[in-house]
Each structure stands twice: as structure tokens, then as C-alpha cells.
Copies of this chain bind each other. A is one copy, B any other.
Amino acid sequence: MLQQYYLKKGNRPMTSRNKPIFSIIPIGGLGQIGSNMTLISGMTESLIVDCGILFPNEDSYGINYLIPDLDILEQSSPSSLIITHGHEDHIGAIYHIIKKFPNIKVLASPFSSKLIERKFKSQKISVKIHPIRPREEIIFSDFSVTPVQTNHSIPETFGLFFKSKLQSFCSLLISDFKFDDKNPYESPMDLNYIKNISQNFSKRLLLADSTNIKSKNEKTPSEGDLITTFESLFSQNYKRIFVTLFPSNIFRQKTVIQTAKKFNKKVIPYGRSVENYLETAIDLKMIEDESGIIKSVKSINSKDDNLVIIISGCQGDFKGALRRVASGEDPYFKIQEGDLFVFSSTPIPGNEKKISQIMNKIYESGGEAITNSDCLVHASGHPGKEDLKILYDAFNPTDIIPIHGESHLLNAHKDFINELFPDIKAHVIYNFNSLLIDNNLEITTINDPPKPPLFIHGKEVLLEKDCLKQRRKLASSGCLFISIKIESLGKKRANLKLEFFGLPQLIQDKEDEIKWLINNYFAKTKIKLFEKSKEELKIEIRRFCNKLLGYKPIVFIHFI
């Protein structure tokens, strides 16, 4: 399979001296933040690592999320999908993978499985998920994969160690990670395993996270480092403390719950997302002591003070509980003087302004807000330069592909490698490029152009690019719907109806003038083709509007 692919790309026919044995094609996540997905192929079998979604920009025109164009997967018909961890940018597109490959085998950790199953339930599909565990090797036809324990901002995050059966080649894909030996809730990254196993191979290819390569934090703080800050905050004389965080960060939720207990405060999870993740963690016995948790917000009253509210919406989402509370629209929580809001999170690029607006509303209502720039209330899940060095030291790679990051970060990661590790070869590739390893352990890259991502709106429905363009036009110019009765065209005044939508009063007041303009057109024009008249009328009406407004609304005309 890999050989056909290689030939198809216009390469010289292979001899036994350069036969590709392994290939890596990133389908998403390289050059952008989100939609992480990688196609890994041995000589006769392919698998997909992760299948995430990309969150849309602000001007999303209703789009819920984006996914990579999956057509490229067809020629490989992957046998399996392996999930490294349960974040949406790694599991969110699983519905679309299963629709395309109904028989694909899905492998994930117990916690990730639970999150995927929750997703399946709402999407009304059902697929068996095979559990995977660290150090337990999974065998494929000519290579194997072994999950490796690592640390991140969600439990059960794995690196994947690929081992060729035939050649002295191995590869370690660690999409999202940090090295955290002070996390009280999980063991640190399994450096011993990485160190021991990699030394048996002469070619060692590492794929590693570039997210924080430009961060000022050389070493990413530990989840454990935050406990002191929370203890200090919870010991102070605040009325109520709202903590907003990435809800999938069960460690963080645990820290908040345990610290609250220490200071005799009750905890309320508030917002669907926080509640769901917490429930999953409790189900899996990741959180065992529930005694301080109030399950229903209805059981408290507005005078209750000694409360910690873990609240959804840390990215300022319009429908999030945090925005609702901040803007005074929440039925249960109204901000009072003495309330503290802890932003135990960081803005995902693009959300800065929304979050800032929420902070403004908190202050305008008499509350106070603390972010990570005031004190250590958030620890990233991604590696600083020091974390990367720890990983490089353990795996001792001959080659690195910077992954998980925008293009400028992948390049900064490459510069970092070139500067500090001149013996390691860094390969910057982007989505839809391929990297091939042949039987001489030589690496070739093929730079196919990336295909644009697909837009998903509503019940996992594809919204074609043209429709999105139409929505953009509607959004920025409003519309005018005109129906004209054909039989009335001979008369002095045609029978016609006008309806404005999304257009200012200024032009709505000109209805009579637009009607006059239409009648005048019919008076001077002999109609041969309705389609032609429609276009001519549209041009006239749009021109009329443009003179008054400075822009042209979309005009629809029906002759009936």
C-alpha cells in the first residue's frame, strides 16, 4: 500500500534499496491549533492517531466546528483509530470517522473511552471501544504501538511508541504533554520506559508538541504548584469564590474540591460542561470524596456565603454559565461585593476579547477577578523548552517533527532544535504533507498542498463552502425579498410585495421609491425572459440602495 502511494506521488520506481517502510501524514493540527489527526502507515496497514475538531473563529456563521477533509484517508482504509487523550481537539470528529469507516477499531484509555461514549450517546451511534493501557503493546502487521504514560491537563494522556518489526526504526508521537513530577494525582511521564526502549533503535523519530515553544515559562508549572495559591485564596475573606477552568482538567477540579474542603467551604459544580466531566470522574472513582460537593444549585440560596463555585465558560462562550453570571442574566447567582472570580485557565487564541469583556462585567457589578498574570492559578498542559529538553534527553531522537502548533510555532520549534541540538534533524511539515522512512532509514518528505477544512453545523451536517459565503453576504448586507405577480405586469402598477430583513430604517422608509423603480422598469422594458429581467432589476435596486447606504443588500426576486 505504502509503495503504491509512493509511486503515485511521481517518485522513481523503488528498488529493494529504497522501499518505504513507514509513513506519517498529518491530516490536522500542523499549522493550526486544533483538529489533531495523523495517518500512520506501515507497509501493509494504516491507522489514525486522534481525530479532533477545530473551533471556528468568532465570525462563525453558526458553524459548530471544523474537521479536516477526510478523503485522503480513503486510499489507506485505516484499520484502527487510536486516541492519545480525551480533549475535543483529539476526539471531537470521531462521528465523521466512524461514518466513513464503520468497521474501524477504536482504541482509547478508560477515561477517554468514557468521554467518547458520552459523545456517542448524544449522536445516537454505538461503537465498541477497546481499552489501552501504558506499556501494553498493541500489535499491527509490520509494526507495533505501545502507549506511554505522560502528563497533560487531562488524565490518561498517552504518548505512542511505534516500533518497526523489520528495521531498526522507532518513532515516538507525543502530541500534548508536559513533564510533571509534582502532580499529586498521577505519576510523572514514563521517562524510564522511553529511555530504555529507544536505545535499541538506530533511527529514532520524535513527534513533539510545539504549543508553548514561545512561552516565557521555560519549565511549565506543575498542577501541584497551584495548591498553594488556592489555599492562600481560599483562606482569605472573600464572600464566594467562582473558579472557572477547562472542565476536562479533573486534576484542577480535584485541587479546588480538596482545598475547599480544607477551608470548610462547600463546592458547587455549575454549568453543563463542568458537571458532566465531574460526573465522569466520579463514576470512574477518580474523585472519591464527594462529601463537600453540592449536586443541585437549587438547594442553596443567595445568602449562602461559604461557597466555591466551579463554573463553566472559561473561554467566555456566549452560552456559558460564566458569561451568564457576569452579565447578570443567571437565575441563581448575582454578583455581590466581595465575590472573587478566579480564571484558572488561559484564553485560547481568539477568545481574549470575550474573556476581557466578562472581566469588565465582573468589576462593574462589584466583584473582583484574578488571572494567571496576578498569581499562579493556571498551569499549562504543554511543554516549555525545559520539558522538551527532558523528553529529548530521554528519547535521544535522531529526527524530530514539530507537531501541535501553528506554522510560526512549528518553525520556532525547529529553530530551537537547530540552535541547541545541532545533531538532531528537524523536519517542518504541514497538514497533508507526507514523511516517508525507507528501508535504508532515509527520510523523504512529499509536500502535497493541504485541503481546506470542512464546516459542520447543527446535527453534524456539512455546510458547503458556497453556503458559508452566502451567509457571510447575508450577515454583512441584509436582504430584500420581492415577489411579483406575473399577471399584473401589464397593469399600471404591478402587484408586488417587499420584505426587508437586516436592513436599516433609512432604506425601509424608501419602500415606495423601490416600488416605483420596479414599476418604472416594467413600463420601459419589454419582458422576454424573466431570468434576465430579474437580474436587471436586482442591479437597479442594489444600485439604488448603494447610493443611500454605501452597500448593496442581497435582493431576491420571485416572478410568480
Contacts and interface: CB of A to CB of B under 8 A. Distances in A.
B497 A551 contact: no
A506 interface: yes
A503 interface: yes
Interface in A425-481: 430, 457-464, 467-468, 470-472, 474-479, 481
A501 B406 contact: no
Interface string A31-70: 1100000000000000000000000011111100000000
Contacts of A357: 406
Contacts of A536: none
Interface residues of A, number: 71
A55 to B, nearest CB: 10
Interface string A340-362: 00000000011011001101111
A554 interface: yes
Contacts of A461: 504, 506, 548-550
Given A353-B57, A356-B406, A474-B471, A497 B558 contact: yes
A364 to B, nearest CB: 5
Contacts of A407: 359-361, 363-364
Given A352-B350, A356-B408, A467 B502 contact: yes
Contacts of A368: 411
Given A59-B59, A214-B373, A558-B497, A353 B349 contact: yes
A394 interface: no
A25 to B, nearest CB: 17
A58 B61 contact: no
A361 B31 CA distance: 9
A483 interface: yes
Contact of A472 (B58, B458, B475, B499): B475
B58 A467 contact: no
A505 interface: yes
A512 B496 CA distance: 26
Contacts of A474: 471, 474-475, 478-479, 501-502
Nearest to A482: B558
A556 interface: yes
Contacts of A359: 406-408
Main secondary structure of the interface of A (DSSP, over half): mixed
Contacts of A476: 60-62, 471
Given A58-B57, A497-B558, A558-B483, A549 B467 contact: no
Interface in A260-296: none
B408 A458 contact: no
Contact of A360 (B58, B408, B485): B408
A457 B549 contact: yes
A462 B504 CA distance: 7
Contact of A551 (B364, B457, B464, B549): B457
Given A407-B360, A558-B497, A471 B464 contact: no
User: Which of A31, A363, A474 is packed against the most chain B CB atoms within 10 Å?
Assistant: A474
A529 interface: no
A336 interface: no
Contact of A459 (B364, B478, B496, B550): B550
Nearest to A31: B360
A369 interface: yes
A16 to B, nearest CB: 36
Interface string A143-186: 00000000000000000000000000000000000000000000
A420 interface: no
7 contacts: A350-B352, A359-B408, A458-B549, A461-B506, A461-B548, A471-B478, A474-B475
Top-10 shortest CB links A-B? A458-B550, A459-B550, A58-B58, A475-B475, A62-B476, A350-B353, A360-B407, A471-B502, A474-B474, A483-B558
Given A360-B407, A363-B411, A471-B478, 20 more contacts: A57-B353, A61-B475, A214-B373, A350-B353, A352-B352, A359-B406, A363-B407, A364-B430, A369-B408, A457-B550, A458-B551, A462-B506, A467-B502, A470-B502, A471-B476, A471-B502, A474-B474, A499-B558, A501-B556, A558-B558
